[in-house]
Copies of this chain bind each other. A is one copy, B any other.
Amino acid sequence: MRAEILSVGTELLLGQIVDTNAAYLARVLSDLGVSVYRRVTVGDNMDRLLAALRSALESSDLVITIGGLGPTMDDITRDGLALAFDDTLHLNDDIAEGLRKFFTKRGMPVLESNLRQAMVPTDGRAIENPNGTAPGLLFEKGGKVGIALPGPPNEFIPMVDNFVAPYLRRKTGNIGTIRSKVLRIAGVGESLVEEIVKDLMFDANPSVAPYAKVGEVHLRVTAKSDTVEEADALIEERAKLIYERLGSAIYAEGDDPIEKAVVKLLAERSETLSTAESCTGGLLSQRITDISGSSTVFMGGAVVYSNAAKTDLVGVPAEMIEAHGAVSAEVAQALAEGVRKRFGTTYGVGITGVAGPDGGTPQKPVGLVYISVASPDGCEVDEVNYIGGRATVRLRASQTALNMLRLRILKSKI
């Protein structure tokens, strides 16, 4: 099966946004064994959209459009696909009713233009969008398929995962399959990971490829075979070898971030957590509570930006801050122990540092962060020096804290 990806939006041609959606979709298609023939971007212009759609349908079996499904006059993808597929659009009453309810509930007027989002193809159907008002659309004619997806990534990505991928898996049947698994590694740098699995990287099937992320490394193991079972068996055999070499540095498989691994570990052990954050400003607790079900293990956190808050909320002695400075191993430890006591949790995490761009000194430069984990077994503190801007320093600090916590939980007895 051959596909073309068509991004629609003048903002893309003006370079105002980077098309990360298209790259995401391309990766998913490639994993499914669907060959992407071409990617095209056109503006909000019907002639050019239609020319691009017709050209795509000449060379490919499948065209997936991104964007242009909103309610405004600029949003022409719906009409363009109907023309290219020689189909008509009609109002779907259920979707229209859902839209009316949506706006009424919010006390907003139901504009006629909003109902454009309830127009669906006569020979096709709507694709559910749980995160927005514009459903996706499926067009089918003469063996050719058109799929229209909305542009906002928080709507687009779940629809790729939950509709496009399963749909294509069914559609393509068993034409030989490419399967892959990602092993997620924290606490070991990319070069060292590569050193450790170098010999495996020469093999073509299964292949092993490292990808460096912020504060972690992903190893993608990919296998091709006639059947899913065979491909999965190849992957498992290779994964076993990698586990033997990297052990607990592998914190999860697949898409689960490290905060999910931590929440899962705590839930399995019926243990609890609280956090006291200075320079990360709530990023750590935000990441943890991003995980559904975290409320059973995460009791709460203190974002203690000012020195007074460190003392009042978490009980860091004012004299300690005076003597060692707010950015110090002592204060990090007092934060972790204080918040653990305050919330009565199994573990407490404390973070204090200089996120920058201001506030650095020769003794305590931007990027210096102290991270502490308090547990029933005692308290440990790490001093780390990150390079990068404010956002990077904060992200890396939250990442290190999560990995320290994870390793601490693994080490402790139940």
Binding site for B on A (CB under 8 A): 7, 10-20, 22-30, 36-43, 48, 52, 55, 70-74, 102, 105-106, 108-109, 111, 113-114, 130-132, 152, 154, 158, 180, 189-192, 194-195, 201, 209-214, 220, 275, 277, 279-286, 288-290, 292-295, 298-306, 308-309, 312-313, 342-343, 355-359, 384-385, 387-392, 394-395
Report chain B residues within 8 Å CB of A300.
302-306, 309, 313
Contact A15 B10 (CB under 8 A): no
Contact of A13 with B42 at beta-carbon distance under 8 Å, contacts A73-B201, A131-B387, A357-B292 already known:
no
Find A281's partner among B10, B27, B37, B290 (CB 8 Å cutoff).
B290
Find A194's partner among B72, B212, B392 (CB 8 Å cutoff).
B72
Find A130's partner among B28, B277, B292, B388 (CB 8 Å cutoff).
B388
Contact B28 A15 (CB under 8 A): yes
Find A102's partner among B19, B180, B387 (CB 8 Å cutoff).
B387
Q: Which residue of B lies closest to A283 (CB)?
A: B286
Contact of A343 with B309 at beta-carbon distance under 8 Å, contacts A108-B192, A302-B303, A390-B290 already known:
yes
* A278 vs chain B, min Cβ distance (A): 9
13 further interface pairs, Cβ-Cβ under 8 Å (given A15-B22, A106-B384) = A7-B39, A14-B26, A15-B24, A15-B28, A18-B18, A37-B48, A40-B41, A154-B391, A277-B282, A285-B303, A286-B286, A289-B394, A292-B356
Contact A41 B38 (CB under 8 A): yes
Report chain B residues within 8 Å CB of A304.
300
In the complex the two chains form, what is the Cα distance from A204 to B129 in whole Å?
33
Q: Which residue of B lies closest to A304 (CB)?
A: B300
In the complex the two chains form, what is the Cα distance from A220 to B15 in whole Å?
13
Contact of A389 with B158 at beta-carbon distance under 8 Å, contacts A19-B19, A23-B15, A36-B14 already known:
yes
Main secondary structure of the interface of A (DSSP, over half): mixed
Contact B189 A108 (CB under 8 A): yes
Report chain B residues within 8 Å CB of A292.
355-358, 390
Question: Can you name 15 A-B pairs with beta carbons within 8 Å?
Answer: A12-B39, A15-B26, A15-B27, A15-B28, A19-B23, A113-B191, A113-B194, A130-B389, A132-B388, A154-B388, A154-B392, A281-B301, A299-B308, A302-B313, A306-B343
* A356 vs chain B, min Cβ distance (A): 7
In the complex the two chains form, what is the Cα distance from A383 to B294 in whole Å?
24
Contact of A289 with B299 at beta-carbon distance under 8 Å, contacts A30-B14, A109-B192, A192-B109 already known:
no
* A79 vs chain B, min Cβ distance (A): 17
Report chain B residues within 8 Å CB of A30.
13-15
Contact A23 B27 (CB under 8 A): no
In the complex the two chains form, what is the Cα distance from A43 to B30 in whole Å?
13
Contact A305 B289 (CB under 8 A): yes
* A226 vs chain B, min Cβ distance (A): 20
Report chain B residues within 8 Å CB of A305.
289, 294-295, 298-301
* A47 vs chain B, min Cβ distance (A): 11
* A158 vs chain B, min Cβ distance (A): 7
In the complex the two chains form, what is the Cα distance from A286 to B351 in whole Å?
13
